[in-house]
Each structure stands twice: as C-alpha cells, then as structure tokens.
Amino acid sequence: MDPDQIAEWLARSRRTVALTGAGISTESGIPDFRGPNGVWTRDPKAEARADLRHYVSDPGVRRAAWRTRLDHPGRTARPNAGHLALAELEALGRLALLITQNIDGLHLAAGSSPERTVEIHGTMRDYVCLDCGARGPMSDALARVRAGEEDPACLECGGILKSATISFGQSLVAADLQRAEEAAARSDLFLAIGTSLMVYPVAWLPERALSNGARLVIINAQPTPMDDRAHAVLRGQIGQVLPDMVARVRARLAAPTG
Ligand code: NAD
Ligand code: ZN
C-alpha cells in the first residue's frame, strides 16, 4: 500500500480513531505478550497467573506481583517515536480518540491529551483498593514495599491493593468501553497499531468501525485476524512507519489546497 494514500485518508478524515496495543511500547523497552519476545510467548503459564482470582486468594501471588512492580520496565520507560507521532496527529486535529490497551502511561507522557485518550485496561501509574476503591499514586505503594511491606494493605480499610489495571477476570470500566465503542462506531478511519487483536472486547472495535463504513488500517509486525478485512496493512516497525505517516499528513495539511 502506498503510504501517501494512507496519509491522504488521514488528512481528509474528520473522525479518526486509533487503537494501540503492547507493540507500540516494545521500542520503549517494554515487552509485549504475544510477539516473538513476548512475556507469554516465553512463559505460557504466566497468562494463567495473571488472573485476578489468584491475586485475591493467594498472598504469595501478591508478594510476587509487588516485587515485579518494583522493577517493571515501565517504571523508567520513555515514550518513543510512535507515541510522539500519535500525539502529533492529535495536535494536527486528525485524531478524535486514542484508545490504548497499554497500562504504561506512555501516550500521556508523550503529550496525548487525557481528554482524547482512553486507557481501556487502566494504568500502572496508580494503585487501587479492591475492597473500598481508594486510589493513589503507585509510587506511594512501592515506597511501602521498599520499606519492607511485602503486600501493603489499604490504609483506609485494610483491603487488598493492586495496580489500577484491568486483570483477567475483571470487567472493563463501563464508561470507558462505551466511549471507545461510540467513537469506533462514528469513526471514518480506524488505525489498529501494535495489537494482535486477540483481547476482547477491545478486538471488536475495528469491526464496529468497519460496519459504519470506516476504512481500517492495520500497522503491526505480525499478522492479525483482521488483516483480510483491512483497507491497508503495514508490516514495518511502528517507530518508523508511524512518524513517516504523520510527517506525510503534516506536509499535506501545510500544502496549499486546490
Ligand atoms: P500483543 O502482545 O497481543 O500483540 C502485540 C503485537 O504487536 C504483536 O502482534 C507484535 O507482532 C506487534 N509488535 C510488537 N512490537 C512491534 C513493533 N515495534 N512494530 C510493529 N509491531 C510490533 O499485545 P496486545 O494486542 O496489546 O494485547 C496484550 C494485552 O497485554 C493488552 O491488553 C495490554 O493491556 C497488555 N500489555 C500491555 C503492555 C504495556 O502497557 N506496554 C505490555 C504488555 C502487555
Ligand atoms: Zn480499601
């Protein structure tokens, strides 16, 4: 597919929606789940351990989770060229909503605005109490772990604390899902970037867009189940493909029309 054709679609679009997955953050040093070096590709049992039931019922799982949080690569990761390109697309007025499955906060760190960003699987930047809903910065909870509490309890109610992310076995925040679905249904161009499109219900979103007549563009290193329905599939590295595409959009918008 001619990259200029996609840039043309973007420049003319009024309601572009982007969906990103773990693949946009691998170039920031955070491994994905199902790519060649993915966390689950290398250790399939890790997928089962990610279920909320184990976290709630087994203090050993929680202690291990807190140790993992202490040195998660996402703590020190910086946004890469892909995140910055999407922030620029928004600044150019060509991104109605950014829906991310990522919990690393790197889109917001790159300058995407909170008003136009839905972190549909939550964020690892905060902790939340599973019992009373008390919430605060993850750095506060991690400071307690560093000071010797292996499984810090909620200071309000004594309940179980967890990162403010959606685990398997937990439902999405209804308002976030509704916002994502409505934007997808209204979109005229839908970009699926760095996602294997295997996690539901988020993986339905491109379908919603297509049924409204939107064009679907997939940017992903490996095949996805939606590739044969897409109007364009780009296989390169996101950190190169996306900035190149946005540069073409910028050039088009700057050029005199006529
Ligand atoms: P996934 O692991 O299922 O798929 C990622 C896809 O991105 C793969 O198909 C891979 O080929 C592709 N990819 C990886 N690096 C790429 C690059 N540089 N250029 C182009 N393509 C690249 O990820 P998913 O679809 O997001 O689903 C995994 C779930 O895990 C999500 O729900 C997400 O919440 C969570 N997760 C988040 C993070 C994070 O926050 N950074 C990291 C791992 C997993
Ligand atoms: Zn509590």
Of 151, 114, 249, the C-alpha closest to 191 is 249
The alpha carbon of 133 and the centre of ligand 2 are apart by a number of angstroms equal to 6
Residue 145 Cα to chain centre, angstroms? 27
Judge whether 121 counts as a catalytic residue: yes
238 lines ligand 1 (CB under 6 A): yes
Q: Which long-range contacts (CB under 8 A, 24 or more apart) does 135-143 make?
A: 135/164, 138/69, 138/163, 138/164, 142/66, 142/69, 142/70
Ligand 1 atom nearest 39 alpha carbon: 43
- Residues 206, 226 contacting (CB under 8 angstroms): yes
- Counting ligands in written order, the one closest to the CA of 170 is 1
Which residues are within 8 A (CB) of 177 and not within 5 positions of it... i.e. 6 or more apart? 120, 201
Query: What pLDDT shows up at residue 118?
Result: 98
Task: Kindly report the protein residue whose alpha carbon is nearest to atom 25 of ligand 1.
Answer: 195
Ligand 1 atom nearest 103 alpha carbon: 40
Query: What pLDDT shows up at residue 36?
Result: 81
Each residue of 22-43: pLDDT tens digit?
Answer: 999 999 999 998 888 787 777 7
pTM: 0.94
